[in-house]
A and B are shown apart, each in its own frame.
Chain A
Amino acid sequence: MGRVREGRVLKMEGNPESKISGGKICGLGQAAVQVQYNPDRLTQPMMRVGDSLQPVSWDKAMALLEEKTGPKSGINGNEFAFMTGAMSGHLKVLVQNYLDSLGSKNHFVYEALSPAVSFAANKQIYGVDMPRLHFDKAKLILSFGSDFLGTGASPVHFAKEYAKFRKAPRGTLIQIEPKMTMTGANADRWIPIIPGTEGVLALGVANQLLKHDDFSKTVPADIVNLVGKYDLDTVSSITSVRSDLIGHLAGLLWEKSPSLVISGASVEGHVHGVQNAAAIQILNRILGNVGKTVDGQAQSPFPQLAPATGSFASLKAMNDGMGAGTYKAVFIYGANPVFTTPSFMGFRDNLRKVPFKVAFVNAVDETAEECDLVLPIYTAVEDFGSHVAWYQPEGVEITMQQPLMDKLYSDTRSMGDIMLDLVKQRRADEYKAWPNFFSYLKTAVTNIKPAVKYTDTDEHFWYDTLSHGVIHVDAPQQQIAENFSTEMLDLPTTVNSPDPKFPFYLIPSERHYFRDGRHANCGWLQESPDPLTTVVWDSWAEIHPKTAASMGIHEGDYLEVSSQNGTIKVKAYLFPGIHPDAISIPLGQGHESLGRFAKGVGVNPFKILNPVFEKNTGELAMFGTRVSVKRTGQSEIVVKDEGPVSTQMGRKLVVTLPADVAQLSKEI
């Protein structure tokens, strides 16, 4: 939703009718207007002439597309690849239809920060990609690195759920992670841990839990046997978590039922990511949370609209194909792989080998710089569309996107219109009923009518849908399985000896405003202080004050952070919320392109990631890179909102009340 005045959209708001957002909106949503009016937006098609991109007319651009990929080009399906970011709804259907018309199966969905590992773990255990989580029913949430308030599926939705969870009777949140996230900052107890050992800790907690007869009787023998190996001392030495804390956690879980145990990116981004996640889910099994706080989502009756969330595997397949010279033409939409792929993949060089590359963008990013044809498309506030989120709390919600204003630049086009034109290259007869994407979408959406038992005319349904902005479909809940087998749990029982050359764990942290970096060119987001460090307009390396002291590092010192795959130079920020053996650099900055607010700001830690992959899924293990840290001797002030003192100096600014004193139930 948005506020419009004199044909200009001024401000975005959440749609109160959405069960996901409930009328609330995050900063990223607000910034949609800054994408719309971005001074660095691409306003006309660009074509590669020699080394540079030159403006070209749409007629010429479309003629070139026709020449290279049209029916007369002789291109066959295997020689064509279409890379998109995560997408859902009817545009996804259209992309699929285009690929079908070409006879191509090469739809590569790529998100640098995809939930693929957690999906894989959930699939193994529950038989679904993502179970539904009932925060409000849980008395205790034990979160292993899940930053549900900051990043992930839907921070706005989970923040809403979190607020319910914190109302009387107030639930307790315990967060275990190597680097404090926004969720960790809101936890009642935050426990640092050596990155990647969360699964071991979960089994250690399970070990303690099974000492209670209540639990050990209900759990299969193979789990009891496996968990038996993870006694307090072993787990404590592997994870660096004090052994009394492990017992304490087990005690709390025993006491506060039902509870909910969840895991997140910092658990999954390791070689044994799926196993880590699975080990954590075993706790839910032991505690009997499955069916109570962990449940099935609604089964969507429209599988074709369901979101494709992307995976590293598809990026790799495309990268390999490009490297081998398989593709004659590549389309890229909604993804910026040149920026988000580690340098070891050589994506940029491989992309250059493709003879014809097309990017569909709002602004020229690193990937578009490499392309032969760059087509400017409408922003989200100018275009029609439909979306389905991958986490559905109640039923299935299809979100309608409709223009809030006329196109700002006459030489931009709707992505849907372009796709429809492309489909018509080969299937003109089939699609002749629809002159544009709007009419296609209208027909397609109207087809949903029977599913929502709407009895009025098609036309009414369409306008009703647009005025509500969402379609709620009541759908039966999926049944979730409980396949907790110990075969998939092969977690180490010995301490990992660190590589002396690369003593630090690198944590490429996802910032809640930048995600993978696609929004970096918004002034509002650049100037919005990072919640935990309050740094703006920059990248920084979070390092524990103890470690920093031992190395003689002060705030603002430039550090050389090197992995096997490269070095980045970044300022130090002393941060107590990080494991002393880890160093954390936020993702999303370090752009070489994209626009004036992003270019040259900070560094890009994607580039130095090592080729470490998750065992079961082949996903890139984002948290699996080890680095060395060296002082450079240079230093510069860290620009941040926080003052020189980071405590309240005894003033009564934020007062903390112990939960046993507070009487939340008496509040309104």
Chain B
Amino acid sequence: MSITNLLNNWSFYRQKRPYQGQYDLNRQYSEYKWAMALDLDICTGCNACTTACYAENNLPVVGKKRFNQGHVMHWIRIERYWDENMGEFPEQGASFLPMMCQQCEEAPCETVCPVGATSHTNDGLNSQNYHRCVGSRYCSVNCPYKVRYFNFWNYPSTAWPAPLPDQLNPDVTVRTKGIMEKCTFCVQRLNEAKSRARTEYRLVRDGEVVPACVQACPTSAITFGNIVDPKSKVAMMWKNQQVDLYKDMQEKDNSVRGYRILEDLRPFPSVMYLERVRDMEA
């Protein structure tokens, strides 16, 4: 950004996100806002999404020792919780929570990066620029979801013994030591779909592009799409679940399942979860 640009658009950069009208089908660069809806009732915790992510995004396998040290690089992970009031046995089953970068609108990680390596894109993603990152790890500290992963080791030289590098996705950089990385909503797929759509003078169609996790999910628990388009499935789900991107606290009926995790911290996440349902009379 040049200084002229910065001065001309001062109020834009000072604007608190998200603001009404930030995403609008008529605005040239904000006709997209990627969002998700994740149904915890039909997520079975099977890990198909995590493996798909490893395949799509060149995530390194770190090994047992480094896993133990917390160096694991899974951009999407499945957390498992037991009920707090569990008796002798977990009679209501376990609670699975797929957790990936929530692509917050008011992202806590963005404001603290000393070099501006992580910033907001026009289509509402929280971008991570590996080449600008200096590895201060401040963003990871500030992330309430703990979904930022740091390359403590030079994985390109160790994690893929030949010929495993042949599998690497050429659309995604292989990250080296000393930088932070995280879920991108498979931005390489989004960019390609956007480019294709633009050539054809249209917007990306609903369902035309999905991240790897959504594509793999056997129960179709994850819905992904452009929330700016009111006819997209994800936008209808958000509306139906009375979750508003621009509100920090939802006022919703008790029977409605939609919620965003740690909303009270006001990061305005782009991922809506649907509550797990349990038949208490069973």
B215 within 8 A of A: yes
B48 adjacent to A30 (CB under 8 Å): yes
- The answer to whether the Cβ of A658 comes within 8 Å of any Cβ in the partner chain is yes
- Residues in B with CB closer than 8 Å to A650 are 84
In the complex, what's the smallest C-beta–C-beta distance from B269 to chain A, in angstroms? 12
Bound: A506/B136 CA distance, A: 49
CB of B115 within 8 Å of the partner chain: no
On whether A662 and B277 interact (CB within 8 A), knowing A185-B96, A576-B86, the answer reads: yes
Cβ-defined partner of B94 (8 Å) among A21, A180, A191:
A180
Taken together as a complex, chains A and B put the C-alpha atoms of A39 and B48 apart, in Å, by 23
Whether A162 touches B44, Cβ cut-off 8 Å, given contacts A10-B169, A26-B218, A657-B275, is: yes
Which residues from A are CB-within-8-Å of B89? 190, 192, 576-577
Beyond A12-B55, A33-B55, whether A577 also contacts B84 by CB under 8 A is no
Assuming the A-B contacts A160-B219, A647-B84, are A30 and B41 also in contact, with contact meaning beta carbons closer than 8 angstroms in the complex? Answer: no
A657-B166 contact, Cβ under 8 Å, with A33-B55, A160-B218, A637-B68: no
B62 touches A527 (CB 8 A): yes
Q: Does B79 contact A25, Cβ atoms closer than 8 Å?
A: no
Q: Is A37 an interface residue (CB 8 A)?
A: yes
B261 to chain A, nearest CB (A): 6
A-B contact list, 12 entries, CB within 8 Å: A11-B52, A37-B164, A37-B165, A37-B166, A159-B219, A184-B93, A186-B96, A189-B92, A512-B47, A527-B54, A654-B273, A656-B277
Cβ of A613 to closest chain B Cβ, rounded Å: 31
**How close is B106's CB to chain A, nearest CB, in angstroms?**
19
**Interface status of A621 (Cβ within 8 A of chain B):** no
Assess whether A368 is interfacial by the CB under 8 Å rule.
no
A532/B282 contact (C-beta < 8 A), A162-B219, A577-B89 known: no
The reply to whether B46 and A149 form a contact with Cβ atoms under 8 Å apart is: yes
Verify A527–B47 contact, CB threshold 8 A.
no
CB nearest to B165 among chain A residues:
A37
A647 vs B259: C-alpha distance when bound (angstroms): 19
Residues of B near A576 (CB, < 8 A) are 82, 86, 88-90
B281 CB–A CB distance under 8 Å:
yes
Instruction: Knowing that A24-B216, A648-B95 touch, tell me 9 more A-B residue pairs with CB under 8 angstroms.
Output: A10-B168, A27-B47, A30-B52, A38-B164, A185-B45, A408-B166, A637-B68, A656-B277, A662-B277
A646 touches B80 (CB 8 A): yes
Query: B278 touching A668 by the CB < 8 A rule?
Result: no
> Which of these binds chain A: B20-28, B197-205, B232-240?
B232-240
The verdict on A514 contacting chain B, using a C-beta distance below 8 Å, is no
Q: Does B212 contact A (CB under 8 A)?
A: yes
Complex interface: chain B residues within 8 A of A12 (CB):
55
Interface stretch, picked from A86-94, A222-230, A518-526, is A518-526
Nearest Cβ on chain A to B111's Cβ, whole angstroms: 23
Decide if A528 is an interface residue (CB 8 Å cutoff): yes
Q: Are the C-beta atoms of A646 and B82 separated by less than 8 Å?
A: yes
Q: Which residues of B contact A538 (CB under 8 A)?
A: 64
Residue numbers in A under 8 Å from B61 (CB-CB): 523-524, 526-527, 597
Partner of A11, one of B74, B212, B240: B212
Tell whether B110 is near chain A: CB-to-CB under 8 Å. no
Q: Is the interface of B mostly helix, strand, loop or mixed?
A: loop
Chain A 627-668 interface residues, beta-carbon cutoff 8 Å to B: 637, 639, 641-642, 646-664, 666-668
Known: A10-B167, A24-B48. A661 touches B254 (CB 8 A): yes
Chain A neighbourhood of B72, CB < 8 A: 527, 536, 641
User: C-beta contact mask, A149-192 vs B, less than 8 Å → 1, else 0?
Assistant: 11000011001101100110010111100001011111111111
Residue pair B55, A11 in contact (C-beta under 8 Å): yes
Contacting pair A639 B68 (CB below 8 A): yes
The distance in angstroms between the C-alpha atoms of A513 and B48, with both chains bound, is 10
With A and B bound together, what is the CA distance between A30 and B57 in angstroms? Answer: 13
Q: Are B55 and A190 in contact (CB under 8 A)?
A: no
Tell me if A162 and B42 are in contact (CB < 8 A): yes
Asked if B157 is an interface residue, CB under 8 A from chain A, the answer is no
A654 near B90 with CB under 8 A, answer no
Q: Does B3 contact A (CB under 8 A)?
A: no
Measured CA separation A262–B196 after assembly (Å) = 48
Chain A residues closer than 8 Å to B215, beta-carbon distance: 13, 23
- Is A304 an interface residue, CB under 8 A from the partner? no
Instruction: Give the 7 A-B residue pairs with the shortest CB-CB distance, closest first.
Output: A523-B61, A27-B51, A159-B218, A537-B64, A163-B219, A654-B95, A185-B94
User: Least Cβ distance of A216 to chain B in Å?
Assistant: 25
Given A8-B167, A185-B94, A190-B93; A664-B44 close (CB under 8 Å):
no
Chain B CB within 10 Å — which of A156, A532, A653 has the most? A653
Chain B residues, Cβ within 8 Å of A653: 79, 81, 95, 97, 261-262
Instruction: Evaluate whether A652 and B47 lie within 8 angstroms (CB atoms) in the complex, with A11-B169, A524-B54 already known.
Output: no
Give the CA-CA distance A12 to B168 in the complex, in Å.
13
Q: Tell me the complex Cα distance, A642–B169, Å.
A: 29
A156 to B217, alpha carbons, bound, how many Å? 9
Kindly state whether residue A5 has any CB partner on chain B within 8 Å.
yes
A325 within 8 A of B: no
Q: Closest Cβ of chain B: how far from A179's Cβ, in Å?
A: 11
Bound-state Cα–Cα, A29 to B86, Å: 35
Q: A39-B161, A524-B61 are in contact. Are A648 and B84 (CB under 8 A)?
A: yes
A664 to chain B: closest residue by CB: B277
| A659–B167 touching, CB < 8 Å | no
A24 touches B282 (CB 8 A): no
Give the distance in Å from the alpha carbon of A637 to the alpha carbon of B96 in the complex. Answer: 24
A531 CB-CB contact with B under 8 Å: yes
Q: Does B175 contact A (CB under 8 A)?
A: no
List A contacts of B88 (CB < 8 A): 546, 576
Q: Is the CB of B275 within 8 A of A655?
A: yes
Distance in angstroms between the alpha carbons of A38 and B162 in the assembled complex: 8
Contact assessment for A659 and B279 in the assembled complex, using a CB-CB cutoff below 8 Å: yes
Q: How far is the CB of B132 from chain A (nearest CB, A)?
A: 27
Indicate whether A34 reaches chain B with its CB closer than 8 angstroms: yes
Q: Are B275 and A27 in contact (CB under 8 A)?
A: no
Q: CA A576 – CA B89 in complex, angstroms?
A: 5
Q: C-beta contact mask, B209-244 vs A, less than 8 Å → 1, else 0?
A: 000100111111100000000000100110011000
Question: Which residue of B has the minimal Cβ distance to A40?
Answer: B161
Q: Which residue of B lies closest to A28 (CB)?
A: B51
By a CB distance below 8 angstroms, the chain B residues around A38 are: 164
Check: A31 CB closer than 8 A to any chain B CB: yes
Give which listed residue, A6, A526, A667, contacts B257 with CB less than 8 A. Answer: A667
B181, CB-defined interface residue at 8 Å? no
User: How far is B212's CA from A646's CA once the two chains are assembled, in angstroms?
Assistant: 28
Nearest CB in chain A: distance from B248 CB, A: 14
Q: Given the complex of chains A and B, what is the CA–CA distance between A618 and B74 in angstroms?
A: 44
- Bound: A8/B217 CA distance, A: 24
Q: Is the CB of B170 within 8 A of A31?
A: no
